[in-house]
Chain A
Amino acid sequence: MIIAEGKPIKDILVMIEVYDKIIVAGCKGCVTVCSTGGEKEVGILSSALRLARQAQGRPLETKEITLERQCDTEYLEPLREIADHFPAVLSLACGAGVQFLAEKFRKHPILPGVDTQFIGVTEEQGVWTERCQACGNCVLDRTGGICPVARCSKSLFNGPCGGSKGGKCEIDSTIDCGWQLIYDRLKELGQLEKLEIIMPVKDWSTSRDGGPRKRVREDLKI
């Protein structure tokens, strides 16, 4: 799922400075799972903003709402019912949700309350780590299910580099060396011969480098 982290309260206060009332909109999707933008976090942030503004002598009225998702038009309806009474929306959804709201609510500035970080997994409660860079050209079959783009700091396709030490990456000893993981996994699977082949040059055009991407299923279009 998409992992995000809440922006610092002081940055949010700057963003909402000109407003006396604001909707704080959460999302029950990914940001709920990574405890950044769900109902609870909406409650905490709204409380914090109210307290901060009250202390500044400029009270803030907040309306808390948590949508099923912010990336599907139908789920935005509950917001549409209340939007007209407020000048702006602070969205705690991922970047996709914030942008979708901006497209669908033309009269409202939609402000991002979180920094969207990566596609990842829950390693344990409270710990989320990156797994996928959405490069559009998956090679996981060749690397034992471990992604060289996302898990190698240099996105090498024929790693590891000379900086791999003790299974850790040269840039941070808490980060696993992606290629050590690949090596260990292929060894476990008895597929080490896959590492004798030179992985060819990557086609980055399916990634962000090729420009904003689109996927269509004609058979699903009504």
Chain B
Amino acid sequence: MKAGSNLEKILASGKFAVTGELGPPKGADVSVIERKANLLKGNVDSINVTDNQTAIVRMSSIAVSAILVRMGMEPNMQMVCRDRNRIAMQSDIFGAYALGIRNILCLSGDHQKFGNHPTAKNVFDLDSMQLLQTLKRMRDERKTLGGDEIEGPPQMFIGAAANPFADPFEYRVIRLAKKVAAGADFIQTQCIYDMDKFERFMQMARDRGLHEKTHILAGVTPLKSVGMAKYMKEKVAGMEVPDEIINRMKSAGKEKAREEGLKICVEQIQRLRQVPGVHGVHLMAIEWEEVVHDIVERAGLLPRPEVE
């Protein structure tokens, strides 16, 4: 056991894991967090807390993660490279551990141009690969990046993101292998709609033995409307949505769109459970946390296992 977190234990025991996601509020209002967290409680094994996602200023992921710990839930704290240098990152990692956080995801971060402060300076002192290495070094070698011994090393379960659909496709698995070598104990993918392409990606990953070196959780997001499906296809970087999905959402019409979206999501999860090497699912029902329970139940994944 590296961190002994709930997520780690479930994955280590070979059970199919379910993680959720929580977007912090654009302010200091804690009640939003409590509301969303309570919708996820009992339906997921741990909850991703995003870090100023899309470069929009929100409550910090370390603060929200600490609040979740206080509420008796398990966060997966996301840390992006856009806003912090290595000094701040290592400092926050110490702090996160002290606050009871046990899972950290290392991400590059969306460029600030997308957000509400496009004129900000970006940092990118380290990239996500180097952050993974740093975190692993802090945990296993008990040393900071600069070489100092750490009093009280952070025993974290280290995660990274993978996007099977970004370009260049042939390189994505090599990049995944690099992340695993850098220290990723678990991987969450970008949300998947193109199952065939994802299965090809998983084949390439298995060929390299990556499914034995890391735990891959496949990302899914339920669609609310055909507009949302089209938006994701056209406007969101690194996202692929097959026409078949768009057509299903369209045919459902306005009334039945949500139900169709949930149906597609449940089908996807069921299909993903059959893909060898996929050890769990990462359910991103952003601003639609109410449906998480329904999805997880219909996918046959309730109750969530309790592990020692």
Contacts and interface: CB of A to CB of B under 8 A. Distances in A.
* Contact, chains A and B (beta carbon distance below 8 A): yes
Interface of A: 153-167, 170-172, 177, 180, 183-184, 195-196, 198-202, 204
B130 A158 contact: yes
Interface of B: 81-82, 86, 108-111, 113-114, 122, 124-130, 133-134, 145, 161-163, 166-168, 171, 174-175, 177-178, 181-182, 190, 237-238
Contact of B124 (A156, A166, A200): A156
A171 B111 CA distance: 7
A196 B124 contact: no
Contact of A162 (B130, B133, B163): B163
Contacts of A159: 127
B133 A161 contact: no
Contacts of B110: 163, 170
A161 B167 contact: no
Contact of A163 (B111, B168, B175): B111
Closest 5 CB pairs of A and B: A162-B163, A158-B129, A163-B237, A170-B237, A156-B127
A166 B190 CA distance: 17
Given A153-B111, A154-B111, A196-B178, A177 B167 contact: yes
Contacts of B111: 153-154, 163, 170-171
Contacts of B168: 160, 164, 167, 180, 183-184
A198 B181 contact: yes
A143 to B, nearest CB: 13
Given A161-B166, A204-B125, 15 more contacts: A154-B122, A158-B127, A158-B175, A164-B238, A165-B237, A167-B167, A170-B114, A171-B111, A171-B114, A184-B168, A195-B171, A196-B177, A201-B86, A201-B126, A201-B133
A155 B167 contact: no
A180 B167 contact: yes
B297 to A, nearest CB: 30
A154 B127 CA distance: 8
A199 B190 CA distance: 24
B238 A154 contact: no
Contact of B108 (A162, A199, A201, A202): A162
A146 to B, nearest CB: 14
A195 B133 CA distance: 16
A159 B81 CA distance: 13
A60 B134 CA distance: 60
Contacts of A158: 127-130, 175, 178
B86 A162 contact: no
B237 A201 contact: no
A171 B55 CA distance: 12
19 contacts: A154-B81, A154-B111, A154-B122, A156-B124, A157-B127, A159-B127, A160-B168, A161-B108, A161-B166, A162-B163, A162-B237, A164-B166, A170-B111, A170-B114, A172-B113, A183-B171, A184-B168, A198-B181, A201-B126
A217 B108 CA distance: 39
A180 B238 CA distance: 14
Contacts of B126: 201
Nearest to A167: B167
B127 to A, nearest CB: 4
A165 B166 contact: yes
A198 B163 contact: no
Nearest to A201: B130
B167 A162 contact: no
A200 B133 CA distance: 9
A154 B111 CA distance: 7
Contact of A165 (B130, B167, B182): B167
Residue with the highest number of chain B CB atoms closer than 10 Å, among A160, A162, A198: A162
Contacts of B128: 156, 158, 161
A198 B178 contact: yes
Given A154-B122, A170-B110, A171-B113, A160 B167 contact: yes
Contacts of A196: 174, 177-178
A154 B133 contact: no
B147 to A, nearest CB: 12
A204 B145 CA distance: 14
A154 to B, nearest CB: 5
B37 to A, nearest CB: 26
Contacts of B166: 160-165
A183 B171 CA distance: 8
B183 to A, nearest CB: 10
Given A154-B82, A170-B238, A198 B133 contact: yes
A14 B127 CA distance: 42
Contacts of A154: 81-82, 108-109, 111, 122, 124, 127
Nearest to A196: B174
Nearest to A173: B237
